[in-house]
Structure 1
Amino acid sequence: MPLPIGAIGASVLPNVGGWVGGLAVMGSYAGWYKNLKKPSWTPPRAAFGPVWTTLYTSMGYASYLVWRDGGGFEGALTPLAAYGTQLALNWAWTPIFFGCHSLKWGLVDITLLTVAAGTTAALFYQVNQTAGLLMVPYLGWLGIATSLNYWIYVNNREESEKKD
């Protein structure tokens, strides 16, 4: 049975924001970011594309399940608004961190993002348990990403404070 067009659209949408943000700041990876002190447990650069594609697709599909089972925007407004909020914070992080070179405001954004994503997962779970569980890998990755942003901020504070 083919996926409904709404499921496909919802699964692709988060990726579009990720692609746009990534393309907008490509130059920062080779220059500015490369020169920052990073922990030994930093994931390899090649991991980020496949991981984010998988996570964006999963969260998008989860939003479709909530929209479908929750009665659309009228019936599932709160969980879908939480989803939209966390998605906006997600999309904002790349330009803040890489585009503006702001380690501090990137950390603020990703901390708020993690809280919003956790709230979204809990609200999704109330509507559709699969949707809530589809958010769990994303929350795990956000834990790593938040820790990484914090470590980079603390260990590059002098450089960061020149910009913030």
Structure 2
Amino acid sequence: MSRAWIPPILVAAVAAALVAFLGATITDLDGWYRTLEQPAWAPPGYMYGMAWTAIYALVALAAVTAWRNTPTTQASDMLIGLFALNGFLNILWSLLFFRAQRPDWALIELIALWISIAVLIAVCGRYSKIAALLLLPYLAWVTFAGALNWEVVQLNTPFG
């Protein structure tokens, strides 16, 4: 690997760590969350941290791989913007679900998050098929999270 890969890897790693840190800071699994009825198929709590750690690593790797293959500054700027938007939507979901205690609003926002991942897959795929494939577990996890979020809303409505 050439040294030219080092700065983008560091930037992507810091960005992924920042999104993960902010999301984790917002996420409160005590108190209110423990009162929510969960579906029987909800995974144990420790699985979330493991899944998100792997996903953030894959997202960072996908970002670097796609970015290194963009043909123009305009394309790379657009790609960075899409990843930034996705990071914002990721954090916003945690804010709505855990801090605002509104799983119903989070479920609506999750649609935007899911679409942003699908767009990232499509755009990254223009520059690197590997980058697009690296994002598939993220899409799968958010799809699963959406089903779980839906069930939490169904089992615990009304909110607010």
Please report the TM-score for the alignment, with normalisation by the length of structure 1.
0.88
Alpha-carbon RMSD across the aligned residues, in angstroms, is 1.7
Partner amino acid for 2:20? G
> Which residue pairs with 2:156 in the alignment?
156
CA-CA distance at 1:80 after TM superposition: 3.1
1:12 and 1:57 in contact (8 A); partners too: no
Partner amino acid for 1:15? A
> Which residue pairs with 1:66 in the alignment?
66
For residues 88-112 of structure 1, the C-alpha deviation after alignment (integer angstroms, 9 at most, x for no partner) is: 1011111110011011111011111
**Residues 10-159 of structure 1: pairs in structure 2 closer than 5 A:** 10-26=12-28, 29-71=29-71, 73-158=73-158
Secondary structure of the corresponding residue to residue 70 of structure 1: coil
C-alpha distance in 2 between matches for 1:96 and 1:73: 34
Unaligned residue ranges in structure 2 (runs of 5+):
none
2:23 and 2:90 in contact (8 A); partners too: no
Deviates more, 1:17-26 or 1:134-143: 17-26
1:42 and 1:148 in contact (8 A); partners too: yes
CA-CA distance at 1:72 after TM superposition: 6.0
Unaligned residue ranges in structure 1 (runs of 5+):
none
Partner amino acid for 1:95? L
For residues 111-136 of structure 1, the C-alpha deviation after alignment (integer angstroms, 9 at most, x for no partner) is: 11001111111110111111000000
Aligned residues: 158
Identity fraction in percent? 25
